[in-house]
A = this chain, B = another copy of it.
Amino acid sequence: MTRWLTDAEMHTWLGYRRMRALLDLQLTRDLGADSGLSDADYDVLTSVSSAPGRQLRLGELAASIRWSTSRLSHQVTRMAQRGLVARGDSPDDGRGATVALTDAGWATLQAAAVHHVASVRRHFIDVLDEQDVADLGRIADKVLAHLTEATPPTPPRRRRSP
């Protein structure tokens, strides 16, 4: 009953997986070498930096980058120890906590972004032509539309045996 993959489908699937693995590895390596940041660090810094006042509720941040709150809490603890961000209390909710970019965090991100964009261009964007970029954008949109419709962002994921 199983519909196996055709040759073309298999080629695309394996190619995608391999691209994903190697591209990630390369970008992560570049980011670490250039700026001393991990992907996780970079994602957090980027999100916080684009928030109004360069500060965010932990829960909002977690949702926007699709992390578990637990993961984020651990990560923020480590980043705070390194002086990249600072924890604070939420003004409007006694339970709430906020993350804010420190000056050092902001400066680090500024420097990192330049290198990171260059790295993304070098290994990814500049390897593709305009048509490729358009095609991949379209493909990602399709896959994302399916995934975000099937599995709503906030509520708990569907289970096999409830």
Chain A residues packing against B (C-beta within 8 Å): 2-5, 8-9, 11-13, 15-16, 18-24, 26, 29, 33-34, 66, 114, 117-118, 120-121, 123-125, 127-128, 130, 132-144, 146-148, 150-151, 157, 159-160
Contact of A133 among B4, B9, B19, B26 (CB under 8 A): B9
Once A5-B125, A19-B143 are accepted as A-B contacts, the answer to whether A135 and B133 lie under 8 Å apart by CB is no
Nearest chain B CB to A90 CB, angstrom units: 27
Nearest chain B CB to A29 CB, angstrom units: 7
Is B137 within 8 A of A139, CB to CB? no
Contact of A29 among B2, B134, B157 (CB under 8 A): B157
